[in-house]
Chain A
Amino acid sequence: MATAQTRTLSRVMMAPAVIVLLIWMIVPLVMTLWFSFQNYSLINPMMTGFAGWGNYLYVIGDPSFTQSLVNTLILVCGVLVITIVGGTLLALLLDQPIWGQGILRIIVISPFFVMPPVAALIWKNGFMHPGYGMLGHLWKAFGLQPVDWFNQYPLFSVIVIVAWQWLPFATLILLTALQSLSEEQREAAEMDGANAINRFYYIIMPHMARSITIVILIQTIFLLGIFAEIRVTTGGGPGYASTNIAFLVFRTGILSNDIGAGSAGGVVAVIIANVVAIFLMRAVGKNLDA
């Protein structure tokens, strides 16, 4: 298909989307780049002028940067591992002939509908609070000392909250993929004498590869920018123990009012995201063609 005319039309049709996204991407990015080379602080208006690489050296040289970078990776990978392994197992379970499958699906998907600040508040006050949180009560019931989660295991606690929000997403996509595996394919595999484990490795996993790729892609997009959960619970602390890159930039730029350094951090964040993006897009692009 496609005559010269439809090609022209298709360019016109794509133009609004392409133009707004281009503007959305380029204008702020250029401004961020510009600020990142300036001395620009809202607290100290005397500090102006070209900063050279100063802001970058300041941001990257700070130990908090390395820690935030590591935290970002742990956060993204931790949540991905939990949701994909957990999601696969849960999907396999929900795919069994069980009673109340319809209601179960509704119950399982529910956390996905909960907005991040609410999710964080529930976990923080209702569950992980050492004084009156449910986990505290549970620990006491077993005669244990309640854990002060956000002080003792800040990053782990954030991972738990985020994983709770994204587990339903992974589970339901993987479940849908499982259910699209035709009964015939399974039966054929059974006829060929494959046992449950072989069936999982040779039939089910390859079939799900595409869905898992999509889950990784979508989740990574959102996980790189995790913000509200940290702000509401630990505020990035104690120290920088639960600060990721996104939150570090927020801390530097907005909380400390150092626009120059914040922007430099922003540029670094964009670069990191792009490295991840290129890497992921390659993988997904290949998988989508199939």
Chain B
Amino acid sequence: MKHRLSSYLRQLEAESIHIMREVVAEFRNPVMLYSIGKDSAVMLHLAMKAFYPAKPPFPLLHVDTTWKFREMIAFRDREAQRLGVDLMVHTNEQGKREGMSPITHGSALYTDVMKTEALKQAFAAHGFDAAFGGARRDEEKSRAKERVFSFRNAAHNWDPKRQRPELWHLANTKVKPGESMRVFPLSNWTELDVWTYIYLENIPVVPLYFADKRPVVERGGTLIMVDDERLPLDPGETPEMAKVRFRTLGCYPLTGAIRSDATTVPEIIDELIASRHSERQGRVIDHDQTGSMEKKKQEGYF
């Protein structure tokens, strides 16, 4: 069942749709980066609306690091089929051959090879000149600084000190060959807006967002789910079945679970309002050093 949107959410929705149409009108070869999480779910839902009755006139691209939760992959394929959209999956094959893993290589190197590099490969292979991403400004303080239309040079670097002015709803969409644009239609959405919208629009999300009994181990204060046999267990370490859920989804060894009883979207929203932690806290990669997100973005991370 669908509910009526508040006028504020309708405003956010219209703004995102406007951004998506602008990209399709101005770029030669856009792509939507689909990361399977809640933000991607909302972004895809908006894309279905923006071009209705046509299908979104661009493919989805999932950069598969091979370490995603299995439920995410299943959900991804189900959604692509349900919506009848064109899904492309790219993996850094060399990284895969070399057995890149967040466990043995450390999160920094792993992220660089399996996400940042992989993304650049996909860009090079398909000649994309614009890519939608589901990032929001309220996620992290360097994201709060980024433009909706965020220019990347030919090496995919973001230069935070020289961003193009972005006034009114006018985007400068010019790029030269090799350069590209990252476009963030959800820039002005907050985590609370996203969940409220998911609820009101009845948008499917990966079940991992809802609390359930799952096998987890506790490491350095973070709960890691044992999603498959690749997660090496320390001697004496045995997975505990706990009622947990995820606030953000990524590669399972890098994503912390939280203990929770929230099994519905309204319950998730209740938790969110009561919570005293920001959502990116569950991501191990953001904590490597202060400013680490900004650094990754400068190097081409989404």
Q: Do A and B come from one complex?
A: no
